[in-house]
Amino acid sequence: MAAAGMLMAWMTGSSYVWAGDANAGADVFKSECSECHSVKQGHNKKGPSLFGIVGRAAGSLPDYHYSDALHQAPWTWTTDKLHAYLSQPARKANPGTKMKYSGLDDPKQLEDLISYLDTFH
Ligand code: HEC
């Protein structure tokens, strides 16, 4: 277990050294997230628009009906926070959320995806 933990830490650390590839991230977004999310401003689907998500306070869009769990979440979405949140089941990262997503465990895909999201401001 300790070795696995260290390996995870090493992989996560190293993924920050490669800057993610936003073009590859667009494909990850399409296959993993676009069923429920759009990156267009003001366009909510099953989930809220992810336009400008990096730097946005959690649960803060005025025109989307959030669960209490996300509405009351105290954090702001930084790249680190998105990394931690999306690498595990959403219901574990934010108990009570209505986002049904089991997590993305490929660190390269995750980094690419977050780089992609960070291009929408
Ligand atoms: C099956 C639908 C579904 C999928 C797939 C999904 N989400 Fe979500 N997501 C939601 C819903 C619904 C919410 C709102 C949750 C709540 O209010 O508790 C949400 C909320 C979020 C939030 C918080 C937004 C805010 O305004 O605070 C982020 C960030 C997010 N999702 C990112 C992603 C990313 C990135 C992916 C792809 C890796 C993804 N989601 C995949 C349904 C989904």
Asked if pLDDT for residue 43 goes beyond 80, the answer is: yes
Give the total number of structural domains in the chain: 1
Alpha carbon nearest to ligand 1 atom 2, residue? 36
Distance CA 121, CA 5 (A): 34
List pLDDT tens digits, range 79-94.
Answer: 999 999 999 999 999 9
Q: Which two tokens stand for residue 97?
A: 């959320």
Asked if pLDDT for residue 16 goes beyond 50, the answer is: no
Q: What is the pLDDT at residue 14?
A: 45
Distance CA 52, CA 43 (A): 12
Phi, psi of 38 (to 5 degrees): -120, 155
Q: Residue 111 maps to which CATH number? A: 1.10.760.10
Q: Which domain holds residue 80?
A: 2-117
4 alpha carbon to ligand 1 midpoint, in Å? 28
48 alpha carbon to ligand 1 midpoint, in Å? 7
Pocket flag, ligand 1, residue 81 (CB < 6 Å) = no
Distance CA 38, CA 51 (A): 8
